[in-house]
Amino acid sequence: MERADEGMAFLLRYENVAWYEDGKVRILDRRIYPVRTEYVVCSSHEEVAQAIADMVTQSGGPYTAAAMGMALAAWEAGDMREEKLLEYMERAAHTLSHARPTTVEKMKRVVEGALEETKKLVGDDITGTALAEKLAEYAVRYIDQNYRRFETIGSLLADRIPAGGTIMTQCFAETIIGTLLKECRKRGNEIKLICPETRPYFQGARLTASVACDMGFDVTVITDNMPACVMREKKVDLFTSAADVITMDGHIVNKIGTFQIALAASYWGIPYYATGIPNQAHPDMGSVKVEQRDPQLVLEAMGTKVTMPGVKGYYPAFDVTPPELVRGIVTDRGVFEPGELKRYAEKGLEKNECS
């Protein structure tokens, strides 16, 4: 099978993100990489869902892990066939897609693809064990398809960066950052990256910076209180982020911090381009549930407590950037202004695709 991730940095290779083999899903523990390179090994799809909830992986990682988790669920089903197997897989799909509340609709797209495969194959009287191999292949096809869509996005984003330009990122945009950097390299555009560290998990410092560093780009990490000051001092040309949800009316739900960087970018007249696939299940913010995480996590840094007992924490996982702060949304079907995402949906219909 052709592997779309060749030439990718360590963090982006399939087998490192999440991988199904012999009744196990192995997930790179991105909470500690590159301080240590360790994997969480899951023996059941429930463990995969728990690993996603616990932030073992994030950005595109949970979707890859959920696809691999469906293969693992089939393996668990063993000798089950037909209706019983399908029911087992439907329950697993629900568990995996509901691992984190904000991204349920997006996760459904992944597991429903695996359920479609399952429905085709149960008619042929396949067992769970045999289905597992088929779903592992589906998972790889899903990832490949994703990489291709994100190659389009990376290329469209690269069009917007001047030669030798400087971009500011937020959190870890996984495949988008990977494909963007590959595209810039291909064009001979040696861009510079400034990565806010992204507390409390430091994804910007540990993950985005690692990918850019692996690929030989000039990358500078700053703390999360610096973007507004630094984007001016370092003449940032463009701010970009992925999105956990893009509503059809142009709101960007993404890692906490995105909103205030977008605000600073707007103040300085620097364009903010969000990237990703708009989610047609979310016409507006009314249907989006923003995840709250364990407040204790903000009271520590790399495992060391930083406050005295009695001090409280608060940890909204995401914030919402309003359309007025977004210059454009870079999608697999082109770049749209936040107010014109209806055209994204229409473009899909023209091409007879579903998103």
Q: Return residues touching a copy of itself (CB under 8 A).
A: 34-35, 194, 196-200, 202, 205-206, 209-210, 213-214, 218-230, 233-234, 255-257, 259-260, 263-264, 267, 298-299, 301-308, 310-316, 319-320
List residues with catalytic annotation: 244
**166-168 and 39-42 as β-strands: parallel, antiparallel, unpaired?**
unpaired
Residue 282's alpha-carbon distances to 47, 118, 285, 287, 328, in angstroms, are: 28, 27, 7, 6, 18
Q: 22 burial class (0-12, 13-18, 19+ CB within 10 angstroms)?
A: exposed
Rounded to 5 degrees, what are φ and ψ at 34?
-95, 10
State which residue, 121 or 180, has the beta carbon closest to a copy of itself: 180
Per-position b or e across 155-187, b if 16+ CB within 10 A of its CB: bbbbebbeeebbbbbbbbbbbbbbbbbbbbbee
Instruction: For residue 215, give both structure tokens.
Output: 């690929």
State which residue, 87 or 267, has the beta carbon closest to a copy of itself: 267
- We find the least distance from the C-beta atom of residue 268 to a copy of itself, in angstroms, to be 10
**Cα distance between residue 236 and residue 229, in whole Å:** 11
- We find the least distance from the C-beta atom of residue 56 to a copy of itself, in angstroms, to be 17
- We find the least distance from the C-beta atom of residue 22 to a copy of itself, in angstroms, to be 31
Terminal alpha carbon distance of the chain: 24
State which residue, 159 or 218, has the beta carbon closest to a copy of itself: 218
- We find the least distance from the C-beta atom of residue 60 to a copy of itself, in angstroms, to be 20
State which residue, 41 or 302, has the beta carbon closest to a copy of itself: 302
